[in-house]
Amino acid sequence: MNRINVIRKTAIVGPLFFLFLLHLEASFIRSSLSQPAQPEGLTLTRAVETALTNNPLIQATVAGRELAEAKLQEALSGRLPLLQVQETFSNSNNPVFVFGSTLEQARFGPQDFQVHSLNNPDSLNNFRTAITLKQPVFNQRQTSTAISQARFGHEQAEQERESVEQRLRFEVIRAYYGILIAEARKGVVEEAVRTGEANAKQISDRFEKGLVVQSDLLAAQVQLAEFRQQKIQAEGDLSIAHAALSTVLGLPVNTSHTVTGLLTKKDFDLPDQEEWIRQALLHRPDYLRTSLALQSSKERVHGAKGQFLPRLDLFATYGASGKTLTSSSPDYTISTSLTFNLFDPGRMARVKQAVAAETMARAEQEQLANHIRLEIVRSYRQYLSALERLQVAVQATGQASETLRIIQDRYRAGLTTITEVLRSETALVQARMNLVLARYDHYVGYGALLLHSGRLIDVQAFVS
């Protein structure tokens, strides 16, 4: 009698689990490999273009570049002359002022030599209009130093822009494929829930008819509850993935996206580790910025030492003085000024500051170089690990599928329990989850390598 029950139970439950396997296979293929691209969908290239247009970091780099350009223009203006116009009104009975102003106004006469007029003059109005041109000829290397530092600052702003763009490309890659993996995982667990629900219903019906034992029904219900928990988690992860991509793209956080990319098998170009390090020290924007900062510090030292040199300026003034605004007498002055600071107690301190800043810049550059090497080593090993895990996950998925087939055959023959079948089905679902995750890590790991080597200038390597 027991043998008959086992045969009946096997005849009913066995095909159901086989159908469950076929559903999961179809779900995995649909979710992780082959959703056809739709014209209105979001491609990876378009996502990057959107991020490079809308992300606030791009706006910040544009403002930073404009700031650097303005500083350069300001520094270049130090070589141009300074033109000033001045209008002065004075009223005084000071003897020296009256005497000199009368001469300036070209109204000096014999009566102005009287002793009383010289000692006790009447008050005098004097309107003085002056146009002054000041041309610095040599200002202790301060202008040339400021120009050099401003140019280095402008180049640093360009490198900052490139650095931000590469970081944004990486964030788009991570968020874009994050949606794909979230959708794939959600599809797998949804199919598992649907099959688990049908599974539990069928076993419940058979349990009521006495064809299966209660432990079989409980095991199926436990598995279904686990799949439902995974579905809840997958739905939350998908919402978070959409929000993450929207944030990177500079769009409202609740924007939904239809991504058209595929997490397919892809072989990336992989030079050796030393070549990645060499490329990073040649192309990485933040390392190039430290080189520019070091050169700027050297220019600062050069400018500080220039304060020991004299300063030479050229002046030219055209003026007119009169008792009223309409009556005036013109004059002009051309002069040259040579200034030499014999004692400046802060001059040597400024030189020491500049030298210390140069030493700090050199140390920071060396520290960044060491950090870059570490990042390359870490990213390189993580990528290799993801590649190996991907290969293992492919094998594990096939092995889990074959294991389930064998256990189902044993179950049909009455040689094992429903618990082993359900456990094998759960293992197959987990293996497929691991496969999708490994493929995601494979993509993102290569993006990290490109980012840390300063070569993430486009996303063509990821486009199928």
In Å, how far from its chain's centre is CA 251?
A: 16
- Kindly compute the dihedral angle of the four CA atoms of residues 209, 215, 220, 225, in this order, to the nearest 10 degrees: 120
DSSP string across 275-296: HHHHHHHHH-HHHHHHHHHHHH
What is the pLDDT, as a whole number, of residue 206? Answer: 72
What is the pLDDT, as a whole number, of residue 464? Answer: 64
Strand partners, 315: 134, 335
Name the stretches of the chain with pLDDT < 50.
1-39
CB neighbour burial string for 170-206, b if at least 16 within 10 angstroms, e if fewer: bbbbbbbbbbbbbbbbbbbbbbbbebbeebbeebeeb
What's the one-letter identity of residue 448? Answer: A
Tokens representing 338 are: 């040579």
| Radius of gyration in angstroms for the set of CA atoms belonging to the chain, rounded to a whole number | 41
Q: Taking the CB of residue 223, how many other CB atoms lie within 10 A of it? A: 22
Tokens 């990485």, located at residue: 284
What is the pLDDT, as a whole number, of residue 40? Answer: 63
What DSSP element (H or E) covers 184?
Answer: helix 142-208
Distance CA 105, CA 353 (A): 52
Residues 6+ apart with CB under 8 A from 29: none
**Residue 209 to residues 60, 201, 214, 417, 422, Cα–Cα distance (Å):** 71, 13, 11, 19, 22
End-to-end CA distance of the chain: 60
What is the pLDDT, as a whole number, of residue 151? Answer: 94
Distance CA 398, CA 365 (A): 49
Please report the sign of the dihedral spanned by the C-alpha atoms of residue 47, residue 50, residue 55, residue 58: positive
What's the one-letter identity of residue 7? Answer: I
**Residue 368 to residues 290, 331, 372, Cα–Cα distance (Å):** 8, 62, 6
CB neighbour burial string for 98-125, b if at least 16 within 10 angstroms, e if fewer: bbebbebbeeeeeeeeeeeeeeebeebe
Residue 265, class by beta-carbon neighbours within 10 Å (0-12 exposed, 13-18 middle, 19+ buried)? exposed
* DSSP H helical ranges for 306-346: none
Comparing C-alpha atoms, which of 397, 382, 402 is closest to residue 433?
397
Residue spans per domain, the chain: 2-462
What is the pLDDT, as a whole number, of residue 6? Answer: 38
What is the pLDDT, as a whole number, of residue 277? Answer: 95
Residues 6+ apart with CB under 8 A from 212: 9, 13, 203, 206, 418
Tokens 């290569």, located at residue: 446
Distance CA 261, CA 269 (A): 20
Strand partners, 108: none
> Please, which contacts does 353-361 make with residues 24 or more away whose CB atoms are closer than 8 Å?
353/304, 354/297, 354/300, 354/301, 354/303, 354/304, 355/301, 357/297, 357/300, 357/301, 358/294, 358/297, 358/298, 358/300, 358/301, 360/297, 361/290, 361/293, 361/294, 361/296, 361/297
CATH no. of 2-462? 1.20.1600.10
What is the pLDDT, as a whole number, of residue 50? Answer: 93
Distance CA 464, CA 1 (A): 60
Residue 136, φ and ψ in degrees, nearest 5: -70, 125
Tokens representing 139 are: 């200002």
Q: Taking the CB of residue 23, how many other CB atoms lie within 10 A of it? A: 15
Give the pairing type, strands 329-339 and 311-322.
antiparallel
Distance CA 19, CA 29 (A): 16
